[in-house]
Structure 1
Amino acid sequence: MIRFFDAIILAHTKLRTHKIRTGITIGVAGILFGLILGAIFVVQGVFDSLERFGEEGLGDRAIVTLTKMSKTYPVYEHLEDQQFIAEVEALHKAFVNNKATIAKKHNVPYDSESEDPSPIQVDKKSKKKSIDGQDMMNTFVMQAAQARQNKVAKPFDVHEYLAPYKTAKILPNNAKLSGLDGASFLYMKDGKEFSTDDQRKIQMLQMGGEDNPTLMIINQSIADAFMGKQSRFDPNKGELPVIVPFKDAEKLLKLKPLKGEASTQQKYDRLKDVRSRMSEMTASFCYRNETSQQLLAQAKSQHDEAKRKVDDPDYRAPSLQYTLPADNSCGPVATSKDTRTSLEKRFMENRLAYEKELQVYTGEPEQYKVNLRVVGVSGDTPEGMASFDAAGMVQSLLGSWLGYGQQWAIPSEMLRQMPESSLPSFVQAAMKSDSVKTKNSILDNEDYLVEFGDVAEARALLKRDGLLNVDAAIGNSTFALPFGSGMLVVEDLKEYFATGVFWALLIVGGVAIIILGSIIGRAVSEGRRESAIFRAIGARRADIGAIYGVYAFLLSLRVAIFAVLLGVILALGVEVWLSESATLGARYSYAATDANTGFHFFSPFSIYVPIVLAAILVFGMIASIVPVILSARRNPIKDMRDDT
């Protein structure tokens, strides 16, 4: 019988006998497992860093923005549908007849052919009626389409939709500030009002963009994560509190963007500088209802024409003249001269009565200059952060932001601290909403912010109708996206990583079994006469098996040690290479208030590390089974006689 300690000595001696062969085996197998361990150390470091930065923003909260998208009637499929055309024709005819009657009543000239042409065209040869593709957005076509859609539309009940998710809670006090019913609400870039008579351009700007950020009232509990300690907000000054993305904060401070070759230290300093100067940042928006816009356009037209014809002796100024307000005032359009005759005034009075009865009167001119005071800085939204370096990847995937697109956020409770008399009427109306509604001639969407107490439920919603199941979401009338953080996506990345580790272990383990089995088999083959001698002096087959079992264990242990060292070296290399850049990206994307928080790519505290180490030992023992069993079945007398 061979004692266990003797088996260890014999196995260790065998390992030292063929150092080159053993070293190559340990190196090849160790590299394979070392790559896996290196990836584990790096990924665990990333996950740990995310948890640290999650405390700075919304990373520890499972919030989803849920959008109920409007379903529009497919007009393009019914351009030659005679029944649909008849409905459009009836709407147009009724409108024209009513308008003509009212125009006659108030002695207002009306030409239906020029003012309200029919969208219906008739083929001269076939006499068949149809709607031209360019007229799909015609008022009467849209009215007929909406009427058909309303017959089949089912009201959206968000509570019914969220019923399967027990921990889902709709966050209140979220609304979009925008011009409704033809009104404009535009950002005053460099403190100056944007002016145009192109209504379509105004509508496009109000959808958001670099030149016109959208303003959102947002739940205070969300806003708190981005509030700065340096903010100075006085509710009695009439300034609305606002949180802006980092890049917009730079613009408000009139700081030139840093060049691409700027050092990491310079970027760190810029981040600290922006946060320290938060109290200096202000901005303004200009609100004008449709009547105010029309007056402004008319005043601008008069001003341009007078300037253009200043040397024209035949130029006659209009009888009613307007003065343009200062471009930094968002003020009312004042009348500078009124030389209208009594007949002209009577015509205008008739026109006003005509518009009111026709219900197209847009009301008295109304305008507000809305001043904002920056009270916080958020991370930049994912759309503006895409990059292929470490900083950009961290920003794009793992940031903490407020909404999508060019969006500024107004904390709801801070807004409520302001005197109601200092708030424009459209702001007061928006404060009463719990959802963000986007309405125009095309869209009638509703957005809700939903928080989940159970992360699994939030991810289940994203898999059902959202980012984690885009194919399914495309065909649905509801769509969900992570809000404020990519942590919900990170949870899926953890699952994918676990699956990847499992398959990597299976594949590498299979290769390792072949490699280790080969060297163990070679050692068993070379030790046949030695084993026969041990058998001759009384050793059992189990004793011989124990020697090679210990040999396989020691060999696997060396592979494990080499793999750990290699994994640590690789992970530390990634840490040195990328940590500084990733830390910058994380601080930018999270707008971290703690400038000492770092983003690291190395952490040994992963549950997968002991699993991989145990797997190495198990694979080594499995690799020894076949050679040991074959050796145990051999005839020791024959092995003693065999010189080879």
Structure 2
Amino acid sequence: MMLPQDALLLAATKLKTRRIRLIVTVIVAGLLFVLLITVSIVMNGVIHSVETFSGEGLGKRYLLQVSSVSQEDYNVQFDETLVNQAKTKFEAQKKEKAAAAKKLGIIYDPATEVSPIFSDDYQGKSGFDPFSEIGQELLADRKEVTAKNYYQTLSEKTKQYNATGTYSSVNLGAVFGPPTADAPTITTIKDGAEVISSDFTGDPYSVRGVDGVKNGMTALSDEVLSVFSLSGQDFAVRDGAVPIVAPYSAAEEVVGLTPLSSGSKSEDQLERIKTVREQIAGKTFSVCLRNSSSLERQQTAQQQTKDYEQNKDKKDYRRPDLMFTTSETPCQDVVVSRDVRSSYQKQQDAKYEEFERMFGKAAPAQRLLTFRIVGITSDPPGFESFQITDILSSLLTSSVGTGWFVPLSAEKALPEYAASFAKVGKSTDYGVSTYVEFDDAAGAKKFTKENTCEPSGFGFSGLTSDPFASCVADGKPFFINPFGSSSIALEDLRSGFSRIFNNTLFVIALISALIMMGTVGKIIADSRRETAVFRAIGAKRLDIAQIYVTYVLLVSLVIVFFSGLAGYLLASLVNNRYSADFTVQSLVSFNASDLSKRFSLVGYDLKQLGFLTFVIIVGSLLASLVPLVTNLHRNPIKDMRDER
């Protein structure tokens, strides 16, 4: 048998022949491995960096957001009994208003009332609007029973699955739209003037700075929100100033800094974060809370002023007898700028105002409210210019969320939102959520898997049946999602990526083996005469096989080296391009106190890389067996006569 060093020497010598073929083989066979190694390095870098950043904030906590399935929104609006009750209430309401109008001596037209009843042509029957005033009254008792059962079931489930804590949140105001009974409208105050906007178009999530607070806030349990408070800050209400966790862009505006351009250097962005962190803690800003009546009067004043300026020079223009103007002092009611009404008209107007208050319209109310910024969170993602950095933010963020947050403990300082706060733990309305915490990812995943509602017949074609009935019957009327942390997502990402990596590796190895099989077969075929000479001077088939096996082993090692080096270089290019951007994004998203941390997209999983090396070597060796065995059984005398 040939000595290993001799076989190695001969195999190395063969590497030096036909170098072009060798280079092409290595590149073609290794190209897919290069891509796989690049993805492995980048993905493991992302996972490791997220784990590093998630040591702060909610990153190491396993929280689930639990909300109720919306049973009242389906089919119940076509319940004949409730529809008839809605009709009766509507007719009674019109009669009551007619009687009140007659008593006050004013004109009332029942035809102006918007009916809560509608006809559904698809189903061929009538329904009622569950969001109308009458609809809410009809569903109040039903919702109370549903909510009671929901929270009782949730309490039992959390005990059964050994949850370590439960917390709550409620939305204070809608993302957009008019004020409701549950929330006033927020208007901002800038440079001593109140900014009142009648209309808004566009994506509400694209609003940056202090203006974003107009989209509403979320009240969240102090135990969850506290991890995002800045050093030295707490949630106490001092001098009427309500603590709030604000988006980064708002904090930037409050300290008087102009936003950096989108193309600014990452070093400048990092320096900006440091500046904002140092200056923002405890800074205040004011807003105005207006109920619907107050806002209506402000908008009337603005419209009257606009009409007057546009038409004052026209001969046929006649000013209204009663005109308003906005006050020069922010957050005040309108000021009467002109009143030439007759005594009779004043009496009639007063009667109409009394009539409206009798049937639910509130008197105008407004209040100046001061917020104290105690923490910073991320801005909502901008979908108008979505970039690759937003992928990281949306998929692997450890954050309380995006937007504006106040602690639930500040309830008494926000009486305008009393109706919303009253829903916590007692309502299943949209915007009310419960958060359940577990010790580890396994407990959180088990709770999610076994209790998440999977609606039957999802799609609601015709809404002929309640798609959530089966969930309620099974004792799991919940929608469950991970909250505030990438912990669970990372567990799934790591295991999922490993599975995909292994499956992809075998496919690539098969393709590479076919390439190697053809290459080795061609090399052996081209060396038949050479092989025959070796056989003639006494070399055995095993010796010849040893030389070619060593040659294939060397080629596979060259492929490993090429794939590893090229994969590392590509991963480094990706890291150099995005590391700084991801660092800035992560410092804000994770509320990291250590601003020296860096987000690296280069990381190594030695098991993955070792397995890849093993597959390349073993695959190459196995690929060489077929051509090797085929050619070693050829007659050496024939090979000496014919090199083909």
**TM-score, scaled to structure 1:** 0.74
Q: Structure 1 residue 254: deviation in Å?
A: 3.9
Q: By how many angstroms is 1:572 displaced?
A: 1.8
Structure 1 residues 285 and 169 mapped into 2: Cα distance closer, same or farther (>3 Å)? farther
C-alpha deviation, 1:272, in angstroms: 2.0
Aligned to 2:379: 380
Distance 1:55 1:526 in 2: 60
1:223 to 201, 225, 231: 225
Map 1:572-583 onto structure 2 (within 5 A): 572-583=572-583
What residue is the counterpart of 2:404 in the other structure? 408
Deviation at 1:508, TM superposition (A): 2.3
Q: Partner residue of 2:246?
A: 244
1:612, CA displacement in angstroms?
1.0
State the distance in 2 between where 1:17 and 1:316 align. Answer: 100
Find the aligned partners of 1:446 and 1:412 in 2 and give their Cα distance.
Answer: 12
Which whole-Å CA distance do the structure 2 matches of 1:76 and 1:489 have between them?
A: 37
- Deviates further, 455-464 or 21-30: 455-464
Say if 1:467 and 1:541 are closer, same or farther in 2 by CA, change over 3 A.
farther
The Cα shift of 1:609 comes to: 1.0
Q: Is the 8 A contact 2:45 2:600 kept in 1?
A: yes
- Number of residue-to-residue matches in the alignment: 609
Q: Which has the larger displacement, 372-381 or 85-94?
A: 85-94
1:449 lines up with 2:447 in the alignment: no
Name the SS of the counterpart of 1:604 in structure 2.
coil
Deviation at 1:618, TM superposition (A): 0.9
Asked if 1:157 corresponds to 2:150, the answer is: yes
Residue 157 of structure 2 corresponds to residue 166 of structure 1: no
CA 431–640 in structure 1, closer or farther in 2 if over 3 Å, else same: same
Question: Does the 8 Å CA contact 2:106/2:348 hold for their aligned counterparts?
Answer: no
Partner of residue 66, structure 1: 66
Tell me what 2:29 maps to.
29
Change in Cα spacing, 1:606 to 1:377, as seen in structure 2 (3 Å) is farther
Report how far residue 383 of structure 1 moved: 4.5
* Contact in 2 for aligned 1:63/1:451 (Cα 8 Å): yes
Distance in 2, Cα, partners of 1:155 & 1:142:
20
Paired residues for 1:406-555 under 5 Å: 407-412=403-408, 415=410, 423-426=413-416, 434=424, 444=430, 446-456=432-442, 458=444, 479-485=479-485, 488-528=488-528, 531=531, 541-555=541-555
What is aligned with 1:113?
Answer: 110
C-alpha displacement at 1:322, in angstroms? 10
CA 240–473 in structure 1, closer or farther in 2 if over 3 Å, else same: farther
State whether residues 86 and 134 of structure 2, in contact with CA within 8 Å, keep that contact through their aligned partners in structure 1. Answer: yes
Aligned letter for 1:157?
Answer: Y
Query: Match of 1:188, SS?
Result: strand
Contact 2:528/2:643 (CA < 8 Å) preserved in 1? no
Counterpart check, 1:253 vs 2:251? no
- Please name the residue that 1:126 is paired with: none
Q: Deviations over 1:195-240 (max 9, x none)?
A: 68x8x99xx999x983604222223343233222265877442211
CA 1:490–1:428 in 2, change beyond 3 Å: closer, same or farther? same
Amino acid corresponding to residue 175 of structure 1 in structure 2: V
RMSD over aligned CA atoms reads: 5.4
Structure 1's 172 and 431: CA in aligned 2 closer, same or farther, altered over 3 A?
A: farther
TM-superposed deviation, 1:46: 1.7
- CA deviations over 1:437-468 (Å, ceiling 9, x no partner): 686xxxx5532233343435655777899999
Range with greater deviation from structure 2 (38-47 or 365-374): 365-374
Deviation of 1:623 (Å): 1.1
Query: Contact 1:380–1:588 at 8 Å: present in 2 too?
Result: no
Distance 2:540 2:140 in 1: 93
C-alpha separation in 2, matches of 1:222 and 1:515 = 56
Q: Distance in 2 between matches of 1:173 and 1:287?
A: 24
Q: Tell me if the contact between 1:173 and 1:433 (Cα under 8 Å) persists in the aligned partners.
A: no
Answer yes or no: is 1:175 the counterpart of 2:170.
Answer: yes
1:241 maps to a residue whose letter is P
Amino acid of the residue matched to residue 497 of structure 2?
F
Map of 2:474 onto structure 1: none
3-state SS, counterpart of residue 283 of structure 1: strand
Residue 381 of structure 2 aligns to which amino acid in structure 1?
P
CA distance in 1, matches of 2:145, 2:228: 43
Code of the aligned partner of 1:113 = P
Structure 1 residues 587-624: Cα deviation after superposition (integer angstroms, max 9, x where no partner): 34445332221122222344311111111101111112
Tell me which residue corresponds to 1:9.
Answer: 9
Among all aligned residue pairs of Structure 1 and Structure 2, give the percentage whose two residues are the same amino acid.
Answer: 26
Q: In the alignment, residue 89 of structure 1 is paired with which amino acid?
A: K
Equivalent residue letter for 2:368: K
Is contact 1:387-1:396 (8 Å) kept? Answer: no
The 5 A counterparts of 1:15-164 are 15-72=15-72, 86-99=84-97, 111=108, 113=110, 116=113, 139=132, 142=135, 146=139, 157-158=150-151, 160=153, 163=157
Contact 2:144 2:427 in 1 (8 A): no
Q: Say if 2:262 is the partner of 1:263.
A: no
Provide Cα deviations, 1:482-540, integer angstroms capped at 9, x if missing partner: 43355644554445533442343233212221222223223433454555566667655
Contact 1:289 1:366 in 2 (8 A): yes
- On the 8 A contact 1:466/1:479 being kept in 2, the answer is yes
Tell me if 1:565 matches 2:588. Answer: no
Matches of 1:467 and 1:393, distance apart in 2: 27
Q: 1:402 to 1:436 in 2, by over 3 A?
A: farther
**CA contact under 8 A between 1:242 and 1:408: conserved in structure 2?**
yes
CA distance in 1, matches of 2:248, 2:431: 28
> In 2 relative to 1, CA 533–118 (structure 1 residues): closer, same or farther, beyond 3 Å?
closer
Equivalent residue letter for 1:395? S
Q: Is the 8 A contact 2:233 2:374 kept in 1?
A: yes
TM-score, with structure 2 as normaliser? 0.74
Give the Cα–Cα distance (whole angstroms) in 2 for the partners of residues 275 and 333 of structure 1.
41
1:448 match: secondary structure: strand
**1:408 is matched by which residue type in structure 2?**
W
Structure 1 residues 577 and 365 mapped into 2: Cα distance closer, same or farther (>3 Å)? Answer: closer
* Structure 2 contact 218–406 (Cα < 8 Å) conserved: yes
Secondary structure in 2 matching 1:210: helix
Inter-CA distance 331–543: structure 2 relative to 1 (3 Å threshold) = same
Q: Which stretch shifts more, 52-61 or 226-235?
A: 226-235
**Aligned counterparts of 2:167 and 2:583: Cα–Cα separation in 1:** 34
Aligned residue for 2:392?
A: 394
2: CA distance, partners of 1:487 / 1:85: 47
Give the secondary structure class of the aligned counterpart of 2:171.
strand
Which amino acid is 1:171 matched to? Answer: T
